[in-house]
């Protein structure tokens, strides 16, 4: 077997191994960084907290948009109603 044939077969084996590793990792949910090291699994509890926080912030932005686009008289009336409740 010539040197170039051996080199070609080694390269082909490396590519096949890389493809197999990526398929295996994706089936197992493993994510790797640029060096090929596996990243720690994502914290689903933390993700849920962040998703909840994003939803709360979206609601706040909606309120601020409504305040910014409503006529000032209506906004003032709503603020007064809120003061009267306390």
Does residue 29 or residue 50 have the better pLDDT? 50
Q: What is the DSSP string of 25-85?
A: HHHHT--B-TTSPBPPPP-HHHHHHHHHHHHHHHHHHHHHHHHHHS-HHHHHHHHHHHHHH
Judge whether residue 4 has pLDDT over 70.
Answer: yes
pLDDT band at 82 (very low <50, low <70, confident <90, very high): confident
pLDDT band at 84 (very low <50, low <70, confident <90, very high): confident
Domain residues of the chain, as ranges?
1-40, 42-86
Distance separating alpha carbons of residues 59 and 81, to the nearest angstrom: 21
Q: What is the pLDDT of residues 5-48, one digit of tens each?
A: 999 999 999 999 999 988 988 888 888 888 878 887 777 788 88
Q: Would you state the pLDDT for residue 69?
A: 83
Q: Would you state the pLDDT for residue 86?
A: 59
């Amino acid at each position: 077997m010539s040197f170039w044939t051996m080199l070609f077969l080694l390269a082909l084996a490396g590519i096949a191994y890389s493809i197999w590793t990526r398929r295996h990792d994706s089936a197992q949910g493993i994510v790797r960084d640029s060096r090929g090291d596996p990243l720690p699994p994502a914290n689903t509890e933390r993700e849920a907290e962040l998703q909840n926080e994003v939803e709360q912030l979206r609601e706040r932005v909606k309120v601020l948009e409504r305040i910014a686009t409503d006529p000032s008289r209506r906004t003032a009336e709503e603020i007064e109603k809120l003061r009267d409740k306390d």
